[in-house]
Amino acid sequence: MPILQVIDVTKVYEGKVTHRALNQLSFEVEKGEFLAVMGPSGSGKTTLLNIISTIDKPTSGEIIFNGTKPHLFNKTELAYFRRRELGFIFQDFNLLPMLTVEENIVLPLTLDNQPVSLMKKRVKELTEKLGLSSVLNKRPDELSGGQAQRVAIARALIHEPAIILADEPTGNLDSHNSREVLELLSKINKERNATIIMVTHDPIAASFCDRVLFIKDGEYFNEIYRDERRQTFFQRILNVLSLLGGRVGDLSSIRLP
């Protein structure tokens, strides 16, 4: 039983120029899978992520999440759904500047009105694992990029969500920090059997995943599974990317904000 089913999802943006961002896209995600979604700019990756995270609604088609259909919920139910079942990691971290690191991490739990003892326990576990114990009382602006993203990951994990959605998590990091974050994600994926969907431009980042899904102009293009060696997987990803026909610039691993 897949944890997430995307069935024939189409998203049309009405406006002066009608724009079809997603066109009958279907795929499934199994529990414990680490999936990368790749595609050139404007291929609908962000729209897809928004639809999965229920802040946007598909024009047609449906999303089945663990057997439920979130787009039938009302707004409040959706909010509760998001806060319990989903965890988010953003490209620019989006830590709240007025909260300390610790407060940022426990935020999802406080919103859900959990007891303080539980929060403290989880924070202790997570920060030890992610090596954040020393910075707990600092403010986000005192952190390095890698630390900030690890804090964001801790925030996405603390409420033990069913799916973690990551939007270009390495987009703002240098290669060293990128690698660290990616290794961390795949470790979490294995140890906790967490399901992760990651949208990325970066073939290196994609090569850490179990499966890479390629979309182009909102449609399914291809998908490839991981093999024994990361290097060969990386090579195969590059091959598909060149098949995609995007120009080199679109695929650059460094993207300006």
Partner 1 sequence: MASFFSVFVFFIYSMLMFHPEIENGYLGKVPIGGMVFAEMILVLFSWFFIFYSMKAFLESRAKEFAILLHLGMEKRQLSKLIFLETIIIGSLSIACGILFGYAFTKFFFMIVREILMLEELPLYFQWEPFVLTIAVYFSAFVIISIVSVNFSPERKIIDLLRWYQYPNVNGRFSKKKAVLSIILLVVAYILSLLTNRVNFYPFVVLLPLLITIGTYLFFTDTVQWVVELIKSRKNFYWKKSRMLSIAEQTFILKNNGRMYFVVTMVSAAAFLCIGLLAALSSYTSQYDKLNPLGLIYKGHVDNPYEKEHISSIVNELEEKGLSYHLTRFEVKKQTSSYTNYEVEVFRESDINSLLFSYGYPMVQLDSGEGMFIPYSEESIKKLSKRTVHTVLKENNVPITIDEVYPKLIFPSSIVSPNSIIISDEDFVQLKKPYSGYPDVEPGYHLFAFDIPQWLEAQDVGVPIYQQVQKEYEKNRYQLPFYFENAGLNYSYVLSMYSLFTLVGLLVAAVFLLAAGSFIYFKIHTNLDAEKRKFDVLKRMGIADSEIKRLVTNQLFPQFFLPWGVAMVHSLFAFLALQNLLKDIANISIVKEIVFAFSFLILIQVIYFYLIRWRFIAHVKN
Q: Give the residues lining the site for partner 1 (CB under 8 A).
A: 53, 55, 75-76, 78-84, 86, 88, 90, 92, 94, 96-99, 103, 106-108, 110-111, 113, 116, 119, 139-141
Question: Please, what is the minimum distance in Å from the beta carbon of residue 22 to partner 1?
Answer: 19
Of the two residues 34 and 93, which places its CB atom closer to partner 1 in the complex? 93
Question: Please, what is the minimum distance in Å from the beta carbon of residue 24 to partner 1?
Answer: 26
Instruction: Give the angle subtended at the CA of 84 by the CAs of 187 and 90, to the nearest 5°.
Output: 55
Question: Please, what is the minimum distance in Å from the beta carbon of residue 251 to partner 1?
Answer: 25
d(CA 214, CA 152): 26
Question: Please, what is the minimum distance in Å from the beta carbon of residue 113 to partner 1?
Answer: 5
Of the two residues 83 and 236, which places its CB atom closer to partner 1 in the complex? 83
Of the two residues 33 and 103, which places its CB atom closer to partner 1 in the complex? 103
Instruction: State both tokens at 148.
Output: 């900030």
Question: Please, what is the minimum distance in Å from the beta carbon of residue 111 to partner 1?
Answer: 6
Closest CA to 179 of 222, 138, 150, 220: 150
Of the two residues 18 and 113, which places its CB atom closer to partner 1 in the complex? 113
Of the two residues 5 and 94, which places its CB atom closer to partner 1 in the complex? 94
At position 87, the amino acid (one-letter code) is: G
Q: How many CB atoms lie within 10 A of CB 116?
A: 10
Instruction: State both tokens at 28.
Output: 């499934």
d(CA 43, CA 56): 16
Residues 6+ apart with CB under 8 A from 185: 34, 153, 166, 169, 196, 198, 208
